[in-house]
Amino acid sequence: MPKIVLKKDSEIVQIFRLEAKSLRVGSDRLADVKIDDWTVGKEEAVIWPKGHGFFIKPAGAFPQLIVNGAEISGERPLSDGDEIKIGPYILVFSRLPEEAEGLAVESPPPSLSTGPEPEAPTGKIPQIQQSSPTSPKPKEPAASRPAARDAAAEKTMIAARPERTKISDVFEAPAHADEYYFLAVWGPLAGRRFRVKPGETKIGRDKEANEIVVREDEQGELDTSISRRHASFFWSNIFTPGGGGVDFSILDVGSKLGVMVNGKKIKPEKGLPLKIGDEIGILSEKVPTIFRLASGDRLDFAPPRTGKEPKKNLFFAQKIFWIIGGIIILLSVLGWIILK
């Protein structure tokens, strides 16, 4: 099924299925692909089926759009892998070759400002709008009917960033089982997911040196208790006579406060094997960020089992202990001298 993948940096924010209908893209609450960002206009683009493919054209007050790095001002056909830049976001058009048949022809839709106002959404997972069973629907030619929907595809990918305290669902996404993700299930990044790739994935505060950046607290302020390079996740492919496999591990690269796996702090500079479902905590003096390792066909955003308390820095407490101890010894010596 053709789809639009909404990304910000390396993070997949949302996935939208494309059918024989138009999609409006923008920040307006009526948009089909809603981008909640103040730099994005109410209506930036329109995507619609035409012939055996999909087309895009800019919309709004300033009809210009960047597709694959080039500005366009009119309609343009979309090819697999095309990237549409809208504000700080990237929309990636994706489709399989065998999905090129059976699309209805449709003209570009009218502006968002026209038409009746739809009902407000009731959940965080976008649902595909269906016609009422009581309203008659004209028959379409067999060649123009969209393909039948399977049950897994109906459960569309996670919507916009959910609140940390309300995440409790398991999302069975129409993805591949050999794709793996870090799901942020606690902390400032809660509700976001990061796809990991074979090799090393660096985690830390430095935006330039890490693939997964953890640098701010829940108020958006810089959290200096997180190290510039905090941890590294490793994905290795294993080849055995009986078949291939994968191997995961996590390494604390000498961070300030450490790394936890399933609620237990691991030894620095010593890798620890991981399996699907394990929880990795990036410790902080404020709120720890906890990720869950998940496969692409089952994204579990349930709250973590352990490790939700911030890691206290014991250096100051130990320093106070020695200061108080020194004062007591000094007073004892002074008292002995006075009495003598």
> What is the DSSP annotation of 215-282?
-B-TTS-B-TTS-SS-EEEEEEEEEETTEEEEEEEEEE-S-SS-EEETTEEPPTT--EEE-TT-EEEE
Q: Which two tokens stand for residue 130?
A: 């269906």
Other CB atoms within a 10 A radius of the CB of residue 339 amount to: 6
pLDDT of the residue at 123:
43
Of residues 190 and 132, the one with the higher pLDDT is 190
Query: Of 319, 313, 186, 316, whose CA–CA distance to 256 is shortest?
Result: 313
**What is residue 318's predicted lDDT score, i.e. its pLDDT?**
56
Please, what's the b/e burial string for 310-333 (b: 16 or more CB within 10 A of its CB; e: otherwise)?
Answer: ebeeeeeeeeeeeeeeeeeeeeee
DSSP tag of 27: S
Q: What is the pLDDT of residue 59?
A: 84
State residue 117's pLDDT score.
45
User: Could you report the per-residue pLDDT of 153-167, keeping only the tens digit for each?
Assistant: 333 333 333 333 333
Indicate whether this model's pTM tops 0.75.
Answer: no
Write out pLDDT tens, residues 276-321: 999 999 999 999 999 999 998 788 888 898 877 776 555 555 567 6
* pLDDT (0 to 100) of residue 181: 92
Distances 93 to 4, 103, 170 between C-alpha atoms, Å = 5, 16, 26
User: What gap in Å lies between CA 124 and CA 9, rounded to an integer?
Assistant: 22
Residue 182 predicted with pLDDT over 90 = yes
Q: What number is the average pLDDT over the span 50-64?
A: 82
The span from the CA of 330 to the CA of 317, in Å, is 20
Average pLDDT of 27-52? Answer: 85
pLDDT at 142: 43
Which tens digits make up the pLDDT trace of 77-97? 998 889 999 888 899 988 754
> Is it the case that residue 48 has pLDDT exceeding 50?
yes
Question: What is residue 177's predicted lDDT score, i.e. its pLDDT?
Answer: 59
Q: How confident is the model at residue 116 (pLDDT cuts 50, 70, 90)?
A: very low
Q: Which residues pair with 140 in a beta bridge?
A: none
